[in-house]
Structure 1
Amino acid sequence: MHLQVLIEHTLPEADLLYKWRMPCYYMDKRPICYINKTKDYVDIGFWHSAHLSKKWDTYLVSEKRKVVKSLRYKMLDDIDDAVFIAILKEVEGVKEKGFYKKG
């Protein structure tokens, strides 16, 4: 719930839709991020992560995915609100770009 509040406060024009049985946020019909809860953690995945600054690489997890990267939290105390909000704002700025980063 805390992450949802941060997303909706930072990106008030974002629409919450359910795709693939997961809450997904869209802006101007473009996907921004999704929330995926597992047994051990919550993932906030970013579709446009290929366009994010390299400074976020220490926070983002790509695991076995080729393009999508995510923030992964096991406990509420793990969430750094400032980092999360900064990444959301950067994602908002690159939402018009494609899924893949070309050249």
Structure 2
Amino acid sequence: MNPAEKYILDSPEPFRSILVYLKTLIEQEVPNTALLYKWNLPFYYIGKKQPFCYLNHTKGYVDMVFWHGAHLTQYKNHLISDGRKHMKSLRYYTLEEVDEKIVVEILKEAYAVKDKKYYK
């Protein structure tokens, strides 16, 4: 088992269930992903070179953070920046809060904008 999978499976509930579900959605919807362990977090890369998103549980919730989140235009009211200029995240406290339709649509949009650069 790689360290990223270990992070997910060793997470306490309810985080484990949320992380496993998000992992499944990412792997179903985003082609050519590689689950790596970077910065002590499960991090998805496109083709092992291009950062796409990462998963994190902290302070009572799970964050699904999109590397190019500044370029996302759908469901802005669901995306959280927490002072980050470039990255945006979906935040979940319970598995029941995860709306598969929204996650899938944001994953598709994030994949479509993955090659854009962020300039301020």
Give the alignment's TM-score, normalised by structure 2: 0.78
Partner in structure 2 of residue 35 of structure 1 = 55
Q: Which has the higher contact order (CA 8 A, sep 6+)?
A: 1
Instruction: Give 1:14-93 correspondences, 5 Å limit.
Output: 14-28=33-47, 29-53=49-73, 55-93=74-112
Which portions of structure 1, spanning 4 or more consecutive aligned residues, are displaced by more than 3 angstroms?
none
Residue 11 of structure 1, CA deviation: 1.3
Hey, which of these two has a bigger chunk of helix by percent?
Answer: 2
Kindly report the root-mean-square deviation, in angstroms, between the aligned alpha carbons of the 2 structures. Answer: 1.2
| Unaligned stretches of 5+ residues in structure 2 | 1-19
Of all paired residues, the percent bearing the same amino acid is 49
| Unaligned stretches of 5+ residues in structure 1 | none
Name the stretch that deviates more: 16-25 or 5-14.
5-14
The structure whose Rg is larger is 2
Q: Give the 3-state SS of the residue equivalent to 2:78 in structure 1.
A: coil
Q: Give the 3-state SS of the residue equivalent to 1:58 in structure 2.
A: helix
Aligned residues: 100
Q: 2:26 aligns with which of 7, 28, 36?
A: 7
